[in-house]
Amino acid sequence: MTAVVETEGLTKFYGRRRGLEDLDLEIRPGEVFGYLGPNGAGKTTTIRLLLDVIRPTRGRMSVLGTDPRDPRVRGRIGYLPGELALEGRERASEYLAFLAGVRGGVSRDRITALAERLEADLSVPMGRLSKGNKQKVGLIQAFMHEPEFLILDEPTGGLDPLVQQEFLAMVREVRAAGRTVLMSSHVLAEVEDVADRVGIVRQGRLVAVEDVAALREKAVRRVEFHFDAPVPREEFEGLPGVRDLRVEGANLSCTIDGRPDALIKAAARFTVVHLVSAEPDLEEIFLTYYSEEEAHHARAGVQEPA
Amino acid sequence: MPALVSKSLRDHRRSLVRWTIGIGAFFALYLSFYPNISQNQDLYGDAALEKFPEAMRDLMGGLTGFTTGTGYLHGVVYQLFGPMLFVVCAAVLGNQAIARPEESGTLELTVTLPIDRRRLVFERFAALALGLLGVAAATFLLAWGLSVATDMGVAFDRILAAHTGVFLLGLLFGALSLAVGAAAGRRGPAMAVVGVVAVGGYIVETMGKNVDAVSWLRWVSPFHYYLDGKPLYQGFPGGDYLVLAGAAAVLLVVAILAFDRRDIGV
């Protein structure tokens, strides 16, 4: 199957300022790709290049197998801009009907169903909508025509936690239907629940692409066991992945790197009263990884002949 | 009607109605003075107006025959204020097409619709032309009606000729503001260019008749192709109006080409 997005050396300069440089990115059909980076790193630049809102300085890209300059390809994409502007006296329902018409038609029931799901009121003039409600209208217009490819720039901004959960459920449904999603965020926590892979951009460059499942596997997590009686320390020493082991009477705590299997099997020989396992903080791993990468780049930079 | 045209017209509905009411009110107010003026030859006759400096009379379009229906209608409505109102109305509409939505950010979603950028500009221009035509048609009927009601004795086709000229002049400036807005993406430059061309063009055309230093510039002034043929006196100046329409078409092409090759919203 051909990639949904394929870029090669994609570069964008705004005058002399670098927006994005030498991006080689592949997004595969049916995956949810999380696109991460701090503000101003080049996420929105990438997205706007893919939609032909801005034009590359150099490099090559294809979206859904075609050049994004072809307007027809945009009908197969759903797009939520990072800074969505909705204004005026027009009602959201009228605006959605207009967008739906241009994209080839969407049933009124579909729009109503999405609005109910996100608890959006479409009868209010758009200029009077709150930020969160504008974001809901933006999500509805991106999802309503069931596009093959969804591009969502900072989709969760302004949404309350319940709506955020509903939104993530919608993203999962899109993936389950075999369609593809690119969503950007400046924090990993927002995308780690739904993303299959994440890419990190910093200062206009893609510094890493990682599989989220692999990242989880690498994750270091803190575990505590409480037993009904004191346990011998030797039983737990030297288990694969177990570090920082502390045994104090009936309590055991450690961190595990990777799979917890060996530790669980060792603990199962005793009576476990209580188990605490903190959710691994992928963000932390990522940042560690990321700063190593940075340091590596910095060294490479120093070694380069002037 | 194409989706973008009908959407633009819907968005402009209120502003178009307001412009129609505004221009209509201006016409009604000024034309209602005519019976009084036509009966006071001493005050408003040619001899009385001779006392104004020549340059000023030139700027006001000559100020002759003010007590006749045609002279009055031309002097107060079709010489300066009528065209300028249409120029401003059209320039504002021209800015609504690209520059304003680009500044506010609403253009972002529009350009990601499956519509070719060239078609987007063309359809926005079509909406501008239709909207302006609506304002022109309504105010034409009003001007004609008032001229009949105040016994001006100006022929229907002469008023139609002058009003058509005002519409074409407006269309030209609308296309100019659209073109600058499509190239620059901002309202400021578009309004500045329209302002300079409109005011400069008007002065060059009117003063140029008697000031040789600028008379050669008259042919580049859009007002030349409206005022020079004296449509209210002599009917449709066909060639001149074709120049206005042609210039608007050229500016539309410029707008399309400029917008098609540009980064949006940067």
| Spatial distance between the Cα atoms of B77 and B145, rounded to a whole number of angstroms | 14
| Residue A196 buriedness (CB in 10 A; 0-12 / 13-18 / 19+) | middle
What does the pLDDT look like over A84-114, one tens digit per residue? Answer: 999 888 999 999 999 999 998 888 899 999 9
A89 contacts on B by Cβ (under 8 Å): 14
In three-state secondary structure terms, A155 is coil
| Spatial distance between the Cα atoms of A64 and A148, rounded to a whole number of angstroms | 8
Q: Is the dihedral of CA A247, A250, A256, A262 positive or negative?
A: positive
Are B162 and B237 in contact by the 8 Å Cβ rule? The answer is no
Are A265 and A240 in contact by the 8 Å Cβ rule? The answer is no
Q: Which of B14, B104, B111 sits opposite A87 (nearest CB)?
A: B104
Tell me which residue of A270, A289, A134, A147 sits closest to A209, measured CA to CA: A289
At the topology level, CATH places domain A5-215 in Rossmann fold (3.40.50)
B249 confidence band (pLDDT: 50, 70, 90): very high
- Range of B85's domain? 3-33+79-260
Q: Please report whether residue B155 resides in a domain.
A: yes
For the segment B216-243, the average pLDDT, to the nearest whole number, is 90
What does the pLDDT look like over A238-284, one tens digit per residue? Answer: 888 888 899 999 999 998 877 888 899 999 999 999 999 876 666 66
Residues carrying CATH 3.40.50.300, chain A = 5-215
Q: Please report whether residue B127 resides in a domain.
A: yes
| Tokens linked to A80 | 């939520």
CA A183 to chain centre: 5
Conformational region of residue A64, where left means phi above 0, alpha means psi within -120 to 50, and beta covers everything else: left
| Spatial distance between the Cα atoms of A164 and A84, rounded to a whole number of angstroms | 17
Are A244 and A223 in contact by the 8 Å Cβ rule? The answer is no
What does the pLDDT look like over A141-161, one tens digit per residue? Answer: 999 999 999 999 999 888 888
- Residue identified by tokens 């060239």 is B118
% pLDDT > 90, chain B: 67
Cβ distance B104 to A85 less than 8 Å, yes or no, reads yes
How confident is the model at residue B48, as a pLDDT?
A: 77
Cβ distance A71 to B115 less than 8 Å, yes or no, reads yes
Q: How many CB atoms lie within 10 A of CB A274?
A: 11
How confident is the model at residue A1, as a pLDDT?
A: 63
Q: Please report whether residue B72 resides in a domain.
A: no
Q: Please report whether residue B230 resides in a domain.
A: yes
Concatenating the DSSP letter of every residue in A21-60 gives: EEEEEEE-TT-EEEEE--TTSSHHHHHHHHTTSS--SEEE
What does the pLDDT look like over B48-58, one tens digit per residue? Answer: 778 888 878 87
A51 contacts on B by Cβ (under 8 Å): 111-112
Q: Please report whether residue B178 resides in a domain.
A: yes
Number of domains in chain B: 1
Tell me which residue of B14, B54, B2, B65 sits closest to B209, measured CA to CA: B54
Distances (CA, A) of B164 to A45, A87, B118, B141, B239: 46, 34, 28, 12, 13
Q: How many CB atoms lie within 10 A of CB A19?
A: 23
A305 confidence band (pLDDT: 50, 70, 90): very low
Q: Look at residue A220 and tell me whether its pLDDT is greater than 80.
A: no
In angstroms, the separation between the Cα of residue A127 and the nearest Cα of chain B is 12
Cβ distance A53 to B4 less than 8 Å, yes or no, reads no
Q: Please report whether residue B61 resides in a domain.
A: no
* Minimal-distance CA residue of chain B relative to A74: B114
The predicted complex's ipTM stands at: 0.86
| Tokens linked to B213 | 């230093």
In angstroms, the separation between the Cα of residue A74 and the nearest Cα of chain B is 5
Query: Mutate which of A74, A80, A106, A144 to disrupt the B interface (most B C-beta within 10 Å)?
Result: A74
A52 contacts on B by Cβ (under 8 Å): 111-112
Distances (CA, A) of A295 to A291, A301, A306, B174: 6, 10, 19, 56
Q: Please report whether residue B67 resides in a domain.
A: no
